[in-house]
Amino acid sequence: MRFQFHKAHLYWLSALLLLTAQLAHATPPTQHGMLWEISKPGKVPSYLFGTIHSEDSRVLELPRIVKRHFEYAESFTMEMLSDETSAQVFIRAMLLPPDQSLRQLLTAKEYTQLLDAIKNYHLPPDKLNQFKPWAVMALLNLPPQKTGVFLDMMLQDMARKQGKKVYGLETIQEQINIFDGLTQAEQLILLRETLENIDELDDMFKLLHKLYLTRDLSGMLAFSEEQQAGSEHPEMMEALNKRLINDRNLRMLERMQPRLNEGNAFIAVGALHLAGKNGLLKLLEAQGYQVTALY
């Protein structure tokens, strides 16, 4: 199968935002769970669900309690909604100016390594050369696509089929800006670090899945902290972490308020946005909500 652009590739970006959230700091072991009830006196409870960008059948098979609260919810909210217009915006944002190519930006050795790493993604070299460094990094930070059905997309499609009101917490442009706002030099640093660790990515994906399936938020973040420690550019990574995690958590917190006020909302965000002292669970508690792990 040849590589083709379609709306599923919007989820490259959401997945990268989750995977690169490895920059977050570790959290106390008391935060364990992927489905949380969010309640406050006088309000109908809502539900916050941690997701992982995955095609794994174990992830796509929703636990009964998650499925029940999803089906009974009156609305569904996720990080970013997908449609054809957003897909086109995303595609344009990924591409270098016409007078540049990725091959020109990398050394011969790096480009050869990249061609080898990209083989399983069925991306022809002429298409690869059009991509900005951050877009290639996004692709490499995901396992090669098999079915094209990811947890995020599945939940959105289920909500629409069930006739729920569907909302997004962020726009495609806001998510693009996190990486597109990096200088080209910074993008190349991130791509080179990905290439340097390319042989470890498969084991990383397996470990993240294991931690997710056991609902181990603290384990996910402890693993993330370990990954951050290996970077040769700590100051850049610290600044990127603020944009990736803390700033976005505050934005998500603000934008989910109308849904929480309505009640009986099902809100799904990347699992690593839930945990830690700056995570959504602690931020919601600071606003007077009671957060209770259901699963």
pLDDT tens-digit profile of 91-137?
899 999 999 999 999 999 999 999 999 988 888 999 999 999 999 99
Retrieve residue 281's tokens. 């669970």
Average pLDDT, the chain: 88
Residue 2 belongs to some domain of the structure: no
Residue 72 belongs to some domain of the structure: no
Residue 78 belongs to some domain of the structure: no
Residue 73 belongs to some domain of the structure: no
Q: What is the pLDDT of residue 223?
A: 78
**Contact in structure between 235 and 268 (CB atoms under 8 Å):** no
The residues near 57 (Cβ < 8 Å, ≥ 6 apart) are: none
- pLDDT-above-90 percentage for the chain: 65
Q: Is the pLDDT of residue 7 over 70?
A: no
Its domain, for residue 223, covers: 7-67+83-293
Residue 74 belongs to some domain of the structure: no
Alpha-carbon span 35 to 23, nearest angstrom: 23
Residue where the block lists tokens 């992982």: 52
- pLDDT-above-70 percentage for the chain: 88
Alpha-carbon span 285 to 279, nearest angstrom: 10
b/e for 97-115, b at 16 or more Cβ within 10 A?
eeeebbeebbeeebbebbe
Q: Of 63, 60, 29, whose CA–CA distance to 47 is shortest?
A: 63
Alpha-carbon span 25 to 225, nearest angstrom: 6
Residue 252 belongs to some domain of the structure: yes
Domain count of the fold of the chain:
1
Residue 228 belongs to some domain of the structure: yes
pLDDT in tens, 42-57: 999 999 999 998 999 9
Q: How many Cα atoms within 13 Å fall on the side-chain side of residue 247?
A: 13
Residue 1 belongs to some domain of the structure: no
The predicted model scores a pTM of 0.89
Alpha-carbon span 160 to 140, nearest angstrom: 30
